[in-house]
Chains A and B, each alone.
Chain A
Amino acid sequence: MNKKFVNKMINLAYNSKMEHAKILVVGAGGIGCELLKTLVMVGIDNITVIDIDTIDKSNLNRQFLFRPEHVGRPKAEVAVSTLKELRPSLNVTGIQANITNYGNDFFQNFAIVLNALDNLEARRYVNRLCVSTKIPMIDAGTQGKLGQVTVHVPHITACYECEPKPTPKTYPVCTIRSTPSKPIHCIVWAKYLYEALFGLRDPDNILSDLQKKAEGFSDLGKELFNLLFKEELPEEAKKIEISIENIVGSQINEDKIGSLQEYAAGFIYAVENLKSREPKPFDKDDQLAIQFVGAASNLRAANFKIEQLNLFKTKEIAGNIIPAVATTNAMAAGLQVIEALKILRNKNEPKNVWISEHASDSKIIVSGNMPPPMPKCYTCSVGSVKVKLNFNTFTLGDLVSKILKNELSMQNPTLNLENGSILYESGEGLDEEDEERYAKNYKMTLNELKLADGVRVSCDNFSTDFTIKLIISHDENQELYEIVGEIVENEENHKENGENQNELKRKSDNSDERECKKLKIVEDIEN
């Protein structure tokens, strides 16, 4: 029996008094409320919480620091005032803002950052700032009864982005436009239709042609109904055989699958109300938008003989709602605080932890070692990326939008050549002359910019203090671009981390982790 293991038994609860570590909690939603409570109860009293959201009624089943009278007020502010009611001596600050407005100067103040976020973009942003300021970050997410907590210590363990996150599911345009076969295709179509008619009216919307056709309609609801569900259909689709003339608009039922008459009435009701309203992007809590999507998607489902869904379910799919419940949030937050204490006390090794619904080998909460950083990670390895593309057709704009923004998630990159000259810069504070020059460069191909094959371009993202070197080579046959191989690591960086990596690699040879992979939650998570 391992004696060392027993000696390692530490005493998290009754060790020397907690130093006044400053903790940043990003998000005051379901996990955020639980985190604040548990942090306070283990004696951490110096906390800043930031959240951009205001309180919605559907938050109240789990975000227990809020009451019905708080609906509409900022989460961060109300959370802090409720905490202070309970514990007046606390040093807690609430900020209502988007975390992406804050940079290194802000992050540097904290000993640990705890994420209680509901979207990938913000998680990535926080991850980058934690990597650049070398502050440990502990992320948590829940989905129904499943939960996961991961610990990220910059350059010692994998960062949040070391393991690529699956991109959101997309559907081919033709499936949405003409060959739907599942309810989701009809819902996606109805959302595009909503955006085209009553939402953002983006010219790139795949249904913007329908919006143009509808422009001349005098009775928008009825004419649109006939166009969409009777006329503008592929041959194999079934026209809806009801006359819209005598249908009077009325809302559709939340729980029951309706008749075609009811959906037609729901469609008329939604269009009549939406056409006189200011355009507003789709929002799952917008009753009219949901009525429209519910009616339109079910009528389309009838066109293509696809299963129909009630409004309750339609809302879930259209709004990407991943249901959250207080118990799992409380457990995830508890685990986050436990791992945070391990880091703060530097006594035993923090773990990545998964909460599952069914036990495996009697374990319902499973922990595993933190994996080492991935050498090819764009975020935490200081290195360079090799890209192949056609210098004759690929523009600097393509490079900025497709590679730097999409692939590497930079928000406002600055591109420098090795001789120090600036190719491109964006953001505020540029003088007119530069702005003009960069706009011109943006449209030029790399060839026109007289860049040589194998050119090295250093790309900085100012707001996150993130730098990467692109090594770009010319390839005549490349239609788009190809990121070749791995990131080539800097020599120094390699040496610095080599030891840690080996050590952690050994440790992570643990069967628990393999089991956990199945439970990983990858989508954006509402909590």
Chain B
Amino acid sequence: MAELSIEERQIYDRQIRIWGMEAQSKLRSAKILVINFNGTTSEIAKNCVLSGMSLDILDDKIIEQPDLNNFYLRNEDVGLSRGEAGAKRIQEINCLVKVSQTKNADGNYQVVVFSGDTANCADINRSCREKHIPSYYVFNSREAVLVIADLIHPSGEISYLSLPEIIEKIPSFLQTKKKKPNLRFYAFLLALYCKFQSLPLENAPPTFIDDQVLKPLSEQIFFSFTQEFYPSLSIAAGMVTQDIVKLITNEKAAYQLFFFDANDSVGMIESFSTQSKAKTSLLADIEISEID
């Protein structure tokens, strides 16, 4: 691995003090794929580029007024594609890395990041899995944000749950009694599960929490799905980028699920078992992460 230039050392000085020189070189040769350039992924892109990673943006949606709820898109960009305008702005942040728009996502990516609706998630996850690329999915609603990480190992040696497998575990997770459950987290998971399974909320699976308490919260989440709140998405973007740095520098990722809600300013992480098969009881699979 080529040594860092003097320029790189000066610009990255502070973070080299956190993760070291070798990690910084690894970040330099890393490339991330960003799918759907919304507020959340624009923040993740910004953080990745500041850390020293290069990235491709896949998004050919033509910019309209509502897309301007994104710090990196401006009035004058209306009519361009989000991928084109986004790549240009994100590139301006750091000239030591390469930011491009991609039309067919044919690069050699270390991590894939997506944010938006649930509709295409399963397809994206399937293609990432085929290439053994870890992928992150960020879902927003009102003041809350939820991140799901498919941490598939590039070597395939360690098996992690895929996105659909994580979704499948939600009902049993919601039935596992906990002393002080974070209601907003549970409400979000319930709404997300229904979105993924195309279920109306009335047909949501049962939980151990009183319906009268959980359902109104879930409804709010369900009907505001994909609405972004900048302070919360900034927090999720920070968490996602931190873990991407860990994956690229061969450290253990911190979580499979991250949830934050601005109303109580609490951020939760959860990790399900790494084993995706050969378990008899679903309940036994669910572990509360004790990362150390």
Which A residues contact B (CB, under 8 angstroms)?
1, 3, 5-6, 8-14, 34, 37-38, 40-42, 57-58, 60-62, 64, 67-68, 86-87, 144-145, 254-255, 312, 316, 321, 323-328, 330-331, 333-335, 337-339, 341, 348, 351, 353, 355, 358-359, 362-367, 526
Q: In the complex, which residues of chain A have a beta carbon less than 8 angstroms from the beta carbon of B213?
A: 1, 3, 6
Summarize A's interface: helix, strand, loop or mixed: mixed
* B254 smallest CB distance to A (angstroms): 7
Selected A-B contacts with CB under 8 Å, 17 pairs: A10-B263, A12-B262, A13-B143, A14-B224, A34-B234, A58-B11, A61-B15, A86-B74, A87-B74, A144-B18, A145-B242, A254-B9, A325-B51, A326-B51, A330-B238, A353-B265, A359-B254
Q: When each residue 202-222 of chain B gets 1 if its CB lies under 8 Å from chain A and 0 otherwise, what string results?
A: 000000011011001100100
B288: min CB distance to chain A, Å: 6
Binds A, one of B42-50, B107-115, B149-157, B160-168: B42-50
Bound Cα distance from A118 to B194, whole angstroms: 46
B14 at interface by CB-CB < 8 Å: yes
Chain B minimum-CB-distance residue to A147: B238
List CB contacts (< 8 Å) of B164-193 with chain A.
183
Q: Which of B118-126, B225-233, B273-281 contacts A (4 or more CB under 8 A)?
A: B225-233
Determine whether the beta carbon of A11 is less than 8 Å from that of B143. Answer: yes
Contact A37 B14 (CB under 8 A): no
B13 at the interface (CB under 8 A from A): yes
Provide the B69-104 mask, 1 if CB < 8 A to any CB of A, else 0.
Answer: 101101000000000000000001111000000000
Known contacts A87-B74, A358-B291, A367-B265; 10 additional CB pairs below 8 A are A40-B71, A64-B46, A86-B74, A321-B17, A326-B46, A327-B237, A330-B237, A362-B288, A364-B255, A367-B264
Known: A57-B10, A348-B263. A330 touches B15 (CB 8 A): no
Render B10-28 as a binary contact track against A, CB cut-off 8 A, 1 for contact: 1111110110010000000
Pick the contact of B50 from A14, A62, A358 — CB < 8 Å? A62
Q: How many A-B residue pairs have CB under 8 A?
A: 177
Check B65 for interface membership: any CB of A closer than 8 A: no
**Separation in Å of the B75 CB from the closest CB of chain A?**
8
Q: Among the listed A3, A10, A255, A321, which residue makes an inter-chain contact with B14, where contact means beta carbons less than 8 Å apart? A: A321
Partner of B266 from A254, A328, A341, A367 at Cβ < 8 Å: A367
Please tell me if the beta carbons of A358 and B292 are within 8 angstroms of each other in the complex: yes
Asked if A41 and B69 sit within 8 Å, CB to CB, the answer is yes
Question: Which A residues are CB-close (under 8 A) to B247?
Answer: none
For B15, list chain A residues within 8 Å (CB): 61-62, 323, 325
Q: Across the interface, do B266 and A363 meet the contact criterion of CB distance under 8 Å?
A: yes
Query: B136 to nearest A CB, angstroms?
Result: 14
Q: Across the interface, do A363 and B267 meet the contact criterion of CB distance under 8 Å?
A: yes
Complex: A64 Cα to B46 Cα, angstroms: 8
Return chain B residues, CB-CB under 8 Å to A312: 17
In the complex, A70→B31 CA distance in Å?
A: 27
CB neighbours (8 Å) of A1 from chain B are 209-210, 212-213
Q: Which 9 A-B pairs have the closest CB atoms?
A: A365-B267, A41-B230, A334-B234, A327-B238, A323-B17, A334-B231, A367-B265, A331-B238, A13-B229
A325 to B290, CA, bound (A): 24
Q: Contact: B217 with A9, CB < 8 Å?
A: yes
Identify A326's interface contact among B47, B220, B265, CB under 8 A: B47
Query: Bound state CA distance, A363 and B69, in angstroms?
Result: 29
Within 8 Å CB of A145, what residues of B? 18, 242
Q: Tell me the minimal C-beta distance from B177 to chain A in angstroms.
A: 14
User: Closest B-chain residue to A8, C-beta based?
Assistant: B263
